[in-house]
Amino acid sequence: MFNTLFSRMLATYLSVMLAILLLLGIIVAGMFQNQYISEQESELRREAEEVTLTIVNKYLDDDKRPVATEELVTTARKYDALLQLVFVDPAYGNVCMYDKASTKWIPVADTYLSDEASEIIEGANTRIENNVFRGWIDIPTMSIACPISTGEGTVVGAMFFHTDMSRTNDSIRKVYLDVLLSACVSVILAFLAVSYITGRMTKPITDMNNIVRRFSKGEFSARVKIASKDEVGQLGQSFNVMADELDTLEHSRRSFVANVSHELRSPLTSMRGFLEAMQDGTIPPEEYGKYLGVVIDETKRMTAMVNDLLDLARIESGQTVLKLEAFDINELIIRTLLTFEARINAANIDVNMDFDAEHTTVEADSDQIAQVVRNLIDNAIKFSPAGGTLSLKTETGKRNVRVSVKDEGVGIAAEDLPYVFDRFYKAEKAHTPSGSSTGIGLSIVKRIVEQHGETITVESPPGNGTCFTFTLKLCEQQAKPRPYAAQRR
């Protein structure tokens, strides 16, 4: 029944509100009842004093008794009450007065409370009791019992003044009904208000749940509508940011799959064509060596591509453990550069090396940093025009070393710069010539550098080549740098 957040919140809010309304209703009704009863008791006490004075001043006087009797009957009629007088002197006897037009007091008119009268006379105290005639009549009553004392303090009897509380109880009951009705109306209004508010609070969460389901079906364009700036609204904003990233990632993934499929299909198709041509005799035996060389080159390129994919997957999954050691970054750059000597000479590229010191010792994983330098140099050679210049530079700071690799190629468009290091970014947009790579080399570079806790940046002024710069932690025993520059062809 309460399997949704909306129903649980609604039930909780309504329960709390209903409890508060019920408590307030009971308190208000109780206060009204106590106030009403207190006023009734006060009025009853005042009237009892008046009746006692009438009895002492007039009723006990034989000459004034008829007048006193008429006044007492009038008082009883006024309050629709029953007045009973119990005297100590048998000459006065027991007297009962009430409105003869009313029949409700007849069953108890001659029922004198002898024991109570004796207690009142002996104790000379006043008390108020409720429903003293329970069992004789079905009328709720409030009775005041007080001694009849003369001016000298002599108690001559007891007076009982019984009033009908039916009207009072009806008024109190009406108050309870009004409170109950108000509570019911309040609950209905509260239900509508809480339903509306709870619905607005939970709607973004419900929308997010529905959007997640759409995401599971491959619909990445859905977004949550933000209608507030509270925690739920902030959650919706964060969800939309995540959705944007997922959408971008999914787009990149599809683009990457398409590119990789193309990169794999093209050489496989070419290799298959050459092999089938050799098989059916289209290619003569004397040319086998030429075409087998092409097949071998294609397999090497595909192997390099698969290795890059495995490296990226291993780095992103956190399986790569850094083996930090102190080594000379300048020496590593020179050793790596030598592996590209044949390509550099073939492209007639000049190499310019500008090192702050002959030896610059850094603390890092030398194998991974060698992969970073190798990828950046390989990328720069691809984009350097024939007769261009490849620049390698190291700058020593207080705590780190800045390593720069710069080419004189056409550069990267400004709109593509923010995405250069994105994984699965299209090869032609990742500073990689179309058809020569999968465009994940720079992603590997960025993740290796970040794994070391360092940064890498790219600058590409229009028509002025591209420069990649990354930082490495300077080893503590690094000596004071001495300028060192070299240029080779």
Question: Which architecture characterizes domain 5-171 according to CATH?
Answer: 2-Layer Sandwich (3.30)
Tell me the pLDDT tens digit for each residue of 248-294. 777 777 777 777 777 677 778 888 888 888 888 888 888 888 888 88
Q: How confident is the model at residue 433 (pLDDT cuts 50, 70, 90)?
A: very low
pLDDT of residue 425: 60
**Would the pLDDT of 232 be above 90?**
no
Calculate the dihedral angle through the C-alpha atoms of 184, 190, 193, 195, rounding to the nearest 10 degrees. Answer: -90
pLDDT of residue 477: 63
Domain with CATH 1.10.287.130 in the chain: 231-316
- For all residues of the chain together, what is the average pLDDT? 82
Domain with CATH 3.30.565.10 in the chain: 325-488
Domain with CATH 3.30.450.20 in the chain: 5-171
352: left (phi over 0), alpha (psi -120 to 50) or beta: beta
pLDDT of residue 435: 44
The upper half-sphere exposure of residue 72, i.e. CA atoms within 13 Å in the direction of its Cβ, equals: 29
Pairing label, strands 141-149, 325-328: unpaired
Residue 51 to residues 56, 162, 268, Cα–Cα distance (Å): 9, 13, 123
Q: How confident is the model at residue 392 (pLDDT cuts 50, 70, 90)?
A: very high
Tell me the pLDDT tens digit for each residue of 300-335. 877 877 777 777 777 767 677 888 999 999 999 999
Give the domain 325-488 fold: Heat Shock Protein 90 (3.30.565)
CA 317 to the chain's CA centroid: 30
C-alpha span between 120 and 114 (Å, rounded): 10
pLDDT of residue 427: 40
pTM of the model: 0.48
**Would the pLDDT of 37 be above 90?**
no
Give the domain 231-316 fold: Helix Hairpins (1.10.287)
Give me the residue label for tokens 């780095």.
Answer: 315
Q: How confident is the model at residue 439 (pLDDT cuts 50, 70, 90)?
A: low
